[in-house]
Amino acid sequence: MIVAFDLDDVLRPFLEPLAEFVNENYLRWEGVHPVDDWRRLLGVRNFGQIWGGTLEQAIAIVKEFYHQDSFINIEPAAGAVELVESLIAQGDKVVVVTACHDDPERTASWIQRWFLGISDIYYTGEYEGETSSKLEICLRIGAHVLIDDSLIHMIGCSENGIVPIWLALREPDDHALDIVREHGVRVIRELGAVRGIVEGMAVSGVEMGY
């Protein structure tokens, strides 16, 4: 079975250390104000809407953040390494599909340092003007599952036979719950729950092979 993972805030922390970086380094910029709760950044396409400034400035800040030693050396999310190792051990192929702003070599270096069994990494390029959606990539590579912290990616997966697993980083509101019910999204609050879902799929015959 091919199991696709998002990278930021799934396999590694992202929004919380990003908010800390902005608060520590950019409050001197006119129009930039503190992020009082990193969860306010969840689901936001233009972070400048939260901390102030334009989309271009927000992208520049995120790119700078990606090159900080503190982020380059960040440890994986709790349970991520053990989960990936267990999936690979049971015969699943694990891949990463990410909209990461950073250059591919730096991203690949971090992944390969922590996740030795992941060799396939796919980039959407959505912040660089060359866009392939996560759904398009998952369909192209034949992914059976996508684990992502963004609910927006779950809808297309459900409509195209890919099992959507939403890592909800906060309590879902009524709108999110409506989407979950309508599209059969599996909701988890911690990564360890993925293994049981994937094992259940294999037992029920969902796996089609690759």
Are 85 and 63 found together in one domain? no
Q: Is the pLDDT of residue 129 over 60?
A: no
Say if CB 6 and CB 201 are below 8 A apart: no
Are 56 and 93 found together in one domain? no
Of 57, 72, 87, the last residue of a domain is 72
Whether residue 154 is contained in a domain is answered as yes
Whether residue 210 is contained in a domain is answered as no
pLDDT in tens, 145-204: 999 999 988 999 999 999 999 999 989 999 999 999 999 999 999 999 999 999 888 656
Number of structural domains found in the chain: 2
Q: Is the pLDDT of residue 25 over 70?
A: yes
Q: What is the mean pLDDT of the chain?
A: 88
Tokens at 156, concatenated:
């297309």
In three-state secondary structure terms, 131 is: coil
Burial class (CB in 10 A: 0-12, 13-18, 19+), 163: buried
pLDDT in tens, 43-58: 887 898 899 888 888 8
The pTM (predicted TM-score) of the whole model is 0.89
Are 188 and 108 found together in one domain? yes
Q: Is the pLDDT of residue 128 over 60?
A: no
Q: What is the DSSP string of 136-176?
A: HHHHHHT-SEEEES-THHHHHHHHTTPEEEEE-SS---HHH
User: Domain range holding 57?
Assistant: 15-72
Are 89 and 105 found together in one domain? yes
* Closest-CA residue to 151 (of 100, 187, 126): 187
Whether residue 208 is contained in a domain is answered as no
Are 21 and 66 found together in one domain? yes
Whether residue 184 is contained in a domain is answered as yes
Residue 95 backbone dihedrals phi, psi, to 5 degrees:
-130, 165
**Position 102 confidence tier, pLDDT thresholds 50, 70, 90:** low
Q: Is the pLDDT of residue 38 over 80?
A: yes
Are 67 and 82 found together in one domain? no
**Position 208 confidence tier, pLDDT thresholds 50, 70, 90:** very low
